[in-house]
């Protein structure tokens, strides 16, 4: 798959998809702009230089985890060819920002419809900065996040709790540099060595 830029490329891919579809769904009038955001951006909405400006839909990666389903097979493959492969899951929070609650709910509904209809990012839907290989794909699906886990995520930030849609992007595989393939190990047995020969 990709190198170290893969995570950022997936974030850019999700944002680009949302913005393309927002423009198609709402060709005239107010429409949100999808942006990649971090926790510091949540406290600076609509301020000079802010990433989030109403109306907006923010995509925030709040957690990374190992994809345990694909990890064993990739580790076995790496043992054969010497190429390390790390399969990751990106846990995303999608939030809407507007002056009115009704508008925020509309933007969240629109974002959910788009991501449900195009859950598989592949080919031109993947941002080119990821250096993807032909056939690479990333699936963006709803994440089954417990309410207490969502609350804990916001407790780690200074911003107030916001209604969010949790998603997970899987599998984002980061490949390491190719190294020499492990060679055959040969064990040579030797007989006992006398004390005189050992000196």
Q: Is residue 199 part of a domain?
A: no
The CA angle 164-143-94, to the nearest 5 degrees, is 30
pLDDT of residue 199: 52
The C-alpha atoms of residue 66 and residue 88 are separated, in whole angstroms, by 5
Quick check: 3 and 131 in contact, CB under 8 A? yes
pLDDT of residue 22: 97
Q: How many distinct structural domains can be found in the chain?
A: 1
pLDDT of residue 198: 47
Q: Is 12 helix (H, G, I), strand (E, B) or coil?
A: helix
Q: Is residue 81 part of a domain?
A: no
Residue numbers of the domain that contains 168 = 6-64+91-172
Residues of the chain with pLDDT under 70: 1, 78, 82, 145-158, 178-199
């Amino acid at each position: 798959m990709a190198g170290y830029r893969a995570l950022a490329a997936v974030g850019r891919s999700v944002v680009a998809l949302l913005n393309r579809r927002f423009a198609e769904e709402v060709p005239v009038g107010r429409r949100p702009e999808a942006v990649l955001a971090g926790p510091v951006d949540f406290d600076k909405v609509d301020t000079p230089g802010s990433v989030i400006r109403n109306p907006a839909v923010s995509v925030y990666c709040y957690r990374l985890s190992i994809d345990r389903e694909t990890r064993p097979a990739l580790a076995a493959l790496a043992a054969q060819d010497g190429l390390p492969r790390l399969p990751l899951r990106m846990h995303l929070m999608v939030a809407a920002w507007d002056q009115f609650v009704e508008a925020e709910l509309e933007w969240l509904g629109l974002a959910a419809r788009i991501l449900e209809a195009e859950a598989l990012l592949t080919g031109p839907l993947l941002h080119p900065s990821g250096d993807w290989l032909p056939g690479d794909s990333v699936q963006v699906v709803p994440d089954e996040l417990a309410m207490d886990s969502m609350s804990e995520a916001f407790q780690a930030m200074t911003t107030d709790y916001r209604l969010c849609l949790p998603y997970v992007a899987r599998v984002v595989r980061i490949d390491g540099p190719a190294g020499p393939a492990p060679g055959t190990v040969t064990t040579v047995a030797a007989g006992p060595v006398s004390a005189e020969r050992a000196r």
